[in-house]
């Protein structure tokens, strides 16, 4: 499998998704089990389905567009390399984002002294979910635009300053629309610990950004 897999055209999604048993919905875990048997069209379907959310997730972690693309590609490469050992014991997305989280943690540690050139704008809607950290403004006046720019800088700084695990939990909860149970499984925490982690993260942001909201 070459490293150009993120650009693969692949089989039509409907064709792959409809290839299960009549009357039974086909899950992503089912499709990954087909990848395990050597069905490359099934793998291409998963890449197409999760590429944009994965790049978005990595963008939130790496704060750099080129790094986000590279990390997302590495996630799918690892998925493919791990296909023979895959077991459908949990949701496919839980397994996928556990791989992504491990990669993001390693990347953050390896590049923590670097200052990225392309910083993510956390006040803009996510390309996949349309979610923002706070409510979007209407058409601003000059004064409102200045305040908005100040708020953008503050949001960017405070979110990036969150502890690593809190930042990942916020990205999964706010932008990937994951529930507490799935985030807990990915981070290998209890649900109560995950709720506490997110509560602390949001309380920190709310307190530190209260003058802007």
Domain identity same for 4 and 77: yes
Q: Is 29:67 a contact under the CB 8 Å cutoff?
A: no
Average pLDDT of the residues in 88-111: 88
Domain identity same for 54 and 138: no
Map tokens 């023979």 to a residue. 84
**197 pLDDT more than 60:** yes
Query: Which pLDDT does position 8 carry in this prediction?
Result: 47
Full residue range of the structural domain in which residue 149 is found: 121-213
Domain identity same for 56 and 112: yes
Query: Which pLDDT does position 42 carry in this prediction?
Result: 94
SS3 sequence of the chain: CCCCHHHCCCCCHHHHHCCCCCCCCCCHHHHHHHHHCCCHHHHHHHHHHHHHHHHHHHHHHHCCHHHHHHHHHHHHHHHHHCHHHCCCCCCHHHHHHHHHHHHHHHHHHHCCCCCCCCCCCCCCCCCCCCCCCCCCCCCCCHHHHHHHHHHHHHHHHHHHHCCHHHHHHHHHHHHCCCCHHHHHHHHCCCHHHHHHHHHHHHHHHHHHCHHHC
Domain identity same for 135 and 177: yes
Domain identity same for 1 and 75: yes
Q: Which residues of 182-193 are buried (b: 16+ CB within 10 A; e: fewer)?
A: bbbbbbebeeee
**14 pLDDT more than 70:** no
Map tokens 């942001």 to a residue. 205
The predicted model scores a pTM of 0.69
Query: Cα(122)–Cα(104) distance, rounded to whole angstroms?
Result: 18
pLDDT in tens, 110-149: 776 554 443 444 444 454 445 544 434 455 566 666 666 7
Q: Is 174:79 a contact under the CB 8 Å cutoff?
A: no
Q: Decide which of 103, 120, 137 is a domain's last residue.
A: 120
Query: Cα(32)–Cα(135) distance, rounded to whole angstroms?
Result: 37
Point out the least confidently predicted range of 101-105, 140-144, 163-167, 192-196.
140-144
Instruction: Report the share of the chain in percent with pLDDT over 90.
Output: 43
**105 pLDDT more than 60:** yes
Domain identity same for 12 and 80: yes
């Amino acid at each position: 499998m070459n490293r150009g897999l993120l650009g693969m055209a692949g089989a039509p999604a409907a064709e792959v998704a409809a290839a299960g048993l009549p009357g039974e919905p086909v899950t992503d875990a089912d499709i990954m089990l087909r990848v395990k048997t050597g069905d490359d069209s099934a793998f291409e379907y998963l890449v197409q389905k999760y590429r944009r959310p994965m790049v978005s997730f990595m963008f939130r972690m790496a704060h750099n567009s080129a790094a986000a693309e590279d990390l997302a590609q590495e996630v799918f490469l690892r998925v493919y390399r791990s296909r023979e050992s895959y077991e459908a014991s949990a949701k496919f997305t839980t397994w996928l984002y556990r791989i992504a989280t491990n990669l993001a943690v390693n990347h953050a540690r390896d590049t923590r002294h670097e200052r990225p050139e392309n910083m993510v704008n956390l006040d803009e809607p996510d390309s996949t979910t349309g979610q923002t950290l706070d409510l979007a403004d209407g058409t601003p006046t000059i004064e409102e635009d200045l305040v908005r720019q100040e708020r953008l800088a503050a949001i960017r700084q405070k979110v990036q300053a969150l502890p690593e695990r809190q930042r990942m939990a916020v990205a999964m909860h706010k932008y990937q629309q994951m529930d507490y149970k799935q985030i807990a499984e990915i981070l290998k925490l209890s649900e109560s610990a995950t709720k506490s982690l997110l509560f602390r993260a949001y309380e920190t942001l709310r307190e530190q950004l209260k003058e802007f909201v």
